[in-house]
Amino acid sequence: MKTRLHRVIPWLSLLLSLASLAAIFFFTKTRTIRLSSIHLPYAMVAIGLMVLTYLLGGLRLQIMAHYLQEKVALGSAVKAHILGLFSAALTPSGSGHAPMIALSLQSSGLSASQAWSVSLYSNIVDMLCYAWMLILALFYLLIDHANLDKRILWGAGFASLLLVGLFYFFSFHIHYLNKLAHLIFTQRFLKRWHRPVMRFSSKLMANLSQLGQIRFSQQVILQAVSSAMHFAGFSIFYVCLRAVGLEPAYLSTVAIIFLVLLLGFVVPTPGASGYVETASVFIVKGQYDISLVLTAVLLWRLISHYSSFILGPLLGGYNLRRELKHARP
């Protein structure tokens, strides 16, 4: 059943994306996607930016492992990052991201608690990164577009405070989760797993606490790498618009697509498929030829989202082959 589900979900994601584009075709009375309008040099730049996000994502995992006094090769860290993206693309709200990274880092030599702490802390770092990037994006859009609804700014301010609060809790008060785990697994029907769960939980919390209490300069390094990774990823959308001959404002485009992708975390479809395509088309369709916008969005999703559907299985198969080779007597 699980294997069948793994086969169905990628096709479901693709079907939702195509369905959303088909709906846009129908309601806007567009009949063509102008693939011939794609300028190859821009497409290559977009692919290069995607590769850069892979490298920066792997570098971030490598840095966090270093903060735990462990060594992970950059290639192994990049592989873990890509597998995490692949798993996130298959799961609602990207929920498969952290487990896949943890499993991949374990295969690279980290203990289970270290691998999970690095994986989870990458999400904690993103909470702070998204918080200040969200404020900057909204303030820029407010300045750039005087008619921006002020309620959006208030909502962004609340979301930023929430993200900062979550970052603070997970960085400095993570031990409360250990107490919660103890309370849960002392219940009668879960008591048999209390000892192994608490042993793992204690190690995990210790590693997360160690990462949460790194020096300010070390946190700045993580924020710099994270923001560069995300900014490169958001820029792919702009480059894809340029690839079809459109000339949008760079910072406005990056800020808007950041908001679109951030909201995608609460969309329950795999990889937010359907929502992302529709939202990204409608934020720019009023300014340009809709057929060119559709072409750009299709190119963008192929590079930034569906590329992981190719790389993920290839890297997963490589991992499995290596594990089987090492398991032979």
Task: Write the pLDDT tens digit of every residue in 292-319.
Answer: 888 888 888 888 887 777 776 667 666 6
Give 272-286 pLDDT, tens digit per residue.
566 666 677 777 766
Given a cut of 60, is residue 27 above it in pLDDT?
no
- In terms of DSSP H, where are the helices of 32-149? 40-67, 74-90, 97-107, 112-144
**What distances in angstroms separate CA 71 from CA 18, 110, 152, 287, one per listed residue?**
42, 8, 43, 49
Look at 25-29, 101-105, 194-198 and tell me which has the smallest mean pLDDT.
25-29
The rounded mean pLDDT for the chain is 79
Given a cut of 50, is residue 6 above it in pLDDT?
no
Given a cut of 90, is residue 271 above it in pLDDT?
no
Given a cut of 50, is residue 1 above it in pLDDT?
no
Q: How far is CA 284 from the centre of its chain?
A: 23
- Cα separation, 167 vs 161, in Å, equals 10
Output the 3-class SS for the chain.
CHHHHHHHHHHHHHHHHHHHHHHHHHHHCCCCCCHHHCCHHHHHHHHHHHHHHHHHHHHHHHHHHHHCCCCCCHHHHHHHHHHHHHHHHHCECCCCHHHHHHHHHHHCCCCHHHHHHHHHHHHHHHHHHHHHHHHHHHHHHHHHCCCCCHHHHHHHHHHHHHHHHHHHHHHHCCHHHHHHHHHHCCCHHHHHHHHHHHHHHHHHHHHHHHHHCCCHHHHHHHHHHHHHHHHHHHHHHHHHHHHCCCCCCHHHHHHHHHHHHHHHHHCCCECCCCHHHHHHHHHHCCCCCHHHHHHHHHHHHHHHCCCHHHHHHHHHHHHHHHHHHHHCC
Give 123-162 pLDDT, tens digit per residue.
999 989 998 998 888 888 877 765 555 666 666 677 778 8
**Residue 229 amino acid letter:** M
What pLDDT does 313 receive? 66
Q: Give every CB contact of residue 298 below 8 A, 6+ residues apart in sequence.
A: 21, 33
Give 169-194 pLDDT, tens digit per residue.
877 777 777 777 777 777 777 778 77
What pLDDT does 266 receive? 65
Are the C-beta atoms of 58 and 80 separated by less than 8 Å?
yes
Given a cut of 90, is residue 63 above it in pLDDT?
yes
- Cα separation, 324 vs 316, in Å, equals 12
Look at 10-24, 41-55, 111-125 and tell me which has the smallest mean pLDDT.
10-24
Between 308 and 32, where is the model more confident? 308
Buried b (16+ CB within 10 A) or exposed e, 250-272: eebbbbbbbbbbbebeebebbbb
What pLDDT does 191 receive? 76
Given a cut of 90, is residue 28 above it in pLDDT?
no
Provide, rounded to the nearest whole percent, the portion of the chain with pLDDT above 70: 73
Read off the pLDDT of each residue in 16-39 and give the average, rounded to a whole number: 60
Q: pLDDT band at 33, cuts 50/70/90? A: low
Give 196-231 pLDDT, tens digit per residue.
878 888 888 889 889 988 999 999 999 999 999 999
Are the C-beta atoms of 233 and 300 separated by less than 8 Å?
no
